[in-house]
Structure 1
Amino acid sequence: MKNIFIFIPIILLPWFCSAFTLVTTNPDFLGWQDPEILFNVNTANCPASMDIPGLITDAVKVWNNVATSRVKISYNGSTTSTVTGNPTTVYCEPNFQGVTGADQNYVPAAALPTPSGNYVATGLLYLNVSGGSANISGFDRSLLLVIIAHEVGHILGLGHSQDPNALMYYNASAKTHLALAQDDIDGVSYLYPRNELGQDKMMGCGLVTTVGSPRPPSGGMFAVVLALMLLPLAIYGGLRKAA
């Protein structure tokens, strides 16, 4: 009997873990249709001392190295565009607060993924080069990598995580080391699962919620959860009969 009562909390434990979020309330959202996601950089207004393409290249490595995800992100080349596009545009914006609505003294970057149907159609990543105190020229390279990697997560389709250890936690600038937490890994693997997982969403610790609204398990997932919850009762009934 002891084994039965120990087994119950073990199988229910994953459903109480913290959740990542998505950038849309669409429950069928799948990120970008093509998991090979490209970024073009407009360096026109960027600080001359900064290698923005190099920052993009290094910042995306943490996402590319997730073993359970098939997403591959890369720098594609230069552009003169200042608008959202596919590939995603990276642009140093002098009028950062006016364009994004974000406080130029506190927000160094902002991402604008544009969903269409079940996918992200275009993306735009603004870097703050305004006269505010959050101008990217005031940050060291290590912190900029964290900030850019966080914004890339938004371009992928991820919202803010509830896990303070996650890269996608709302205050990315509080972090000093570029790394993903398990919740980040669960999020990107949910949107871009490896081919060997088929098109099924992962069954992991990061239960997905959309922005502002918890998302319950799908019908298929609910059946799995229900089966796991009832399994100890079936075992218990079988043991009683055997006795």
Structure 2
Amino acid sequence: MRALIFTIFFASQLFASTLNPNTGRGFAKNEINVLISPTDCTGAGFSTATFRDLVEDAADDYWNAVATADLQLKVKGIGNIDIAGQSHNDILNSGLVPNNTILAGCNQTFASSTTLGGAVMKCNGDNCQAVLIINSGSESAMPDQDRNTQIAVIAHELGHAIGLGHTELSHNLMYYSVSGKTQTWLGQDDIDGVTYLYPYDEPALGCDFLPILGAMGTINDISNDDDSNFPGGFMASLLIGILLAGVFSLPKNLKKLFV
């Protein structure tokens, strides 16, 4: 009975975050530049200059504020990389996005007006780039959101841009939702995920073991949210718990071999 209780407790402690499917990792560096595209954001409900301020607030209020993660998103000024009419992959494959940079901007390439934004990350060795786009189409729902929600939407997409996927736990910023962003805070799962990707005193790639545990897996971006993308991390965690519980239930003379 004690072994069963230990197993359930251990399994429940592992988080349910997933990794960005394009990379399965974070940036190689812990200081990441965020560059703003000059593309018009009027359709999203704000000017390009205001968008820059929203991105900075999203970075500082959310991911830069995680004390356990060695991560700093450095929001720069408005650059000259125009992303009008281009998809995430078009922009990433253009070679225009500098290494170690997230390019953030607005355009009208989204198929659905209910999609508020999306982000895609790409790495070639240690050279990583990401593109974050907010929907500025004529029917975009972004202008209907208040400022705090707009910041949360951008923070959610920044989470994808730095390597995080969605979480199954609803009380978290990275929770997948087809009805818009309602979580305007970081939950423990968000904090655990970014801490694994960007730990102190460890390389930023030190999360490669997580898929082995089943705690991380593939995701789709917020533009294609569904609940079929999660890898059953709980079951993998449960198996680990069973193994550890077996060690704790061994006779004392055998247990010494494992301690």
TMscore range, shorter length: 0.7 to 0.9
Distance 2:194 2:115 in 1: 24
RMSD over aligned CA atoms reads 3.6
Distance 2:68 2:127 in 1: 21
1:191 corresponding residue in structure 2: 197
Distance 1:116 1:214, change over 3 A: farther
Q: Is residue 57 of structure 1 aligned with residue 56 of structure 2? A: yes
How far is the alpha carbon of 1:215 from its aligned partner? 7.8
The correspondence for 1:162, drawn from 162, 168, 171, is 168
What stretches of structure 1 of length at least 5 have no aligned partner?
none
1:19 corresponding residue in structure 2: 16
- Give the secondary-structure state (helix, strand or coil) at the position aligned to 2:250: helix
What is the percentage of aligned positions where both structures have the same residue?
A: 28
Distance 1:175 1:107 in 2: 10
1:45 corresponding residue in structure 2: 40
1:150 corresponding residue in structure 2: 156
How far is the alpha carbon of 1:12 from its aligned partner? 4.1
1:125 corresponding residue in structure 2: 132
- Give the secondary-structure state (helix, strand or coil) at the position aligned to 1:60: helix
Question: Residue type of the partner of 2:105?
Answer: Y
Distance 2:204 2:138 in 1: 48
Question: Residue type of the partner of 2:150?
Answer: L
- Give the secondary-structure state (helix, strand or coil) at the position aligned to 1:14: helix
How far is the alpha carbon of 1:8 from its aligned partner? 4.4
Distance 1:120 1:148, change over 3 A: farther
1:113 corresponding residue in structure 2: 121
How far is the alpha carbon of 1:230 from its aligned partner? 2.2
> Deviation string for 1:101-153 (max 9, x for gaps)?
x41x1012111212335x6721111111111142x333221110110000000
Distance 1:223 1:120, change over 3 A: farther
What stretches of structure 2 of length at least 5 have no aligned partner?
84-90, 220-228
Query: When the two structures are superposed, what TM-score results if normalisation uses the length of structure 2?
Result: 0.71
- Give the secondary-structure state (helix, strand or coil) at the position aligned to 2:171: coil
Distance 1:209 1:15, change over 3 A: farther
Question: Residue type of the partner of 2:52?
Answer: P
Distance 1:133 1:52, change over 3 A: closer
Distance 1:216 1:143, change over 3 A: closer
Query: When the two structures are superposed, what TM-score results if normalisation uses the length of structure 1?
Result: 0.75
Do the aligned partners of 2:166 and 2:176 also contact (CA within 8 Å) in 1? yes
> Deviation string for 1:58-109 (max 9, x for gaps)?
111211122221111120221111234232111221x322xxxx41x10121
Distance 1:107 1:68, change over 3 A: same
Question: Residue type of the partner of 2:119?
Answer: A
How far is the alpha carbon of 1:238 from its aligned partner? 7.4
- Give the secondary-structure state (helix, strand or coil) at the position aligned to 2:121: strand
2:70 corresponding residue in structure 1: 70
2:226 corresponding residue in structure 1: none
- Give the secondary-structure state (helix, strand or coil) at the position aligned to 1:209: coil
* Range with greater deviation from structure 2 (228-237 or 192-201): 192-201
